[in-house]
Homo-oligomer: A and B are copies of this chain.
Amino acid sequence: MANWFRRRRPATPAVLVGRPRSTVTARVELADLTPAIDAYLGRAAYLQLALFEDVSRAISAAPSTVAKTSLARVAGPHLDAHRGLVAELVARGVDPAEAMEPYRLDIDDFQRRTLGQDWFETLATCYVTAGFLTDFFLGLAAGLPAELRGRVESLLDVEAGEDVLIDELRAGIDANPRLGSRLAMWGRRLVGDTMLVARSALGVGDEAPGEERIEPVFTELVAAHTRRMDALGLTA
């Protein structure tokens, strides 16, 4: 359940992180940029469903029974998060499909762009995009009313199943160093697409926030991404 909004991580050498850490700043900034409740829930619910689909694709393409059944542990939390967020919408008297609909095209498009060419790229997608975006939506949750925030935080588990993805990816990279450089490139493309889809979730009323407000928000998220790539032995 750990994530950078809620607990300190062990210190990471600055050379890996690349920028100073600014957890408190980012958190304040994100709480400030939380969209309206139904928009938050609708977007987060559809996104968790998309992340679930990515893992499902990896399950179907898994080369072994071990990998298949391990990945089932990764899929569960995204499905549970989707269903929990849908239940929140229903409890508010909101039609969940209508609440998700405005975000469908953007997220479907994001999903297509981050599909990956093979099983390992799909695994990297599950690892990188889910980590970044779940982290991001946990940060935005800071701007929700306290009770709802608590429930949403218990639904979004950034590190759920991360160990499975890291193990499979590392095993692949260890067996084939060229895979490592391919995945390092893929990771850079992924984080670019992921930041764009995250950015589109930020909004205060009709006004799009300026760069000066967005920049600090992403600083810590990018640092967390760097640590994720580092856990694969890859440079972000």
**Contact: A104 with B53, CB < 8 Å?**
no
A115 to B138, CA, bound (A): 37
Q: A57-B60, A59-B56, A60-B56 are in contact. Are A49 and B69 (CB under 8 A)?
A: yes
CB distance from A91 to the nearest CB of B (A): 15
A106 to B232, CA, bound (A): 35
User: Pick the contact of A53 from B59, B66, B83 — CB < 8 Å?
Assistant: B59
| A96 proximal to B (CB < 8 A) | yes
User: Pick the contact of A65 from B46, B69, B72 — CB < 8 Å?
Assistant: B46
A32 to B57, CA, bound (A): 38
A-B pairs with the 4 shortest C-beta distances? A56-B56, A66-B97, A65-B97, A53-B60
User: Pick the contact of A83 from B59, B72, B82, B83 — CB < 8 Å?
Assistant: B72
Residues of chain B contacted by A52 (CB below 8 angstroms): 56, 59, 72
Interface residues of A (CB under 8 A from B): 45-46, 49, 52-53, 56-57, 59-60, 64-66, 68-69, 72-73, 75-76, 79-80, 82-83, 86, 96-97, 100-101, 104
Pick the most buried of A69, A73, A82, A100: most chain B CB atoms within 10 A of its CB: A69
**Contact: A100 with B60, CB < 8 Å?**
no
CB distance from A88 to the nearest CB of B (A): 13
A40 to B97, CA, bound (A): 39
**Contact: B69 with A73, CB < 8 Å?**
no
Residues of chain B contacted by A69 (CB below 8 angstroms): 45, 49, 82, 86, 96-97, 100
Residues of chain B contacted by A68 (CB below 8 angstroms): 49
User: Pick the contact of A76 from B59, B60, B65, B79 — CB < 8 Å?
Assistant: B79
- Closest residue on chain B to residue A76 by CB atoms: B79
A104 to B69, CA, bound (A): 12
CB distance from A81 to the nearest CB of B (A): 11
Residues of chain B contacted by A66 (CB below 8 angstroms): 97
Pick the most buried of A53, A65, A86: most chain B CB atoms within 10 A of its CB: A65
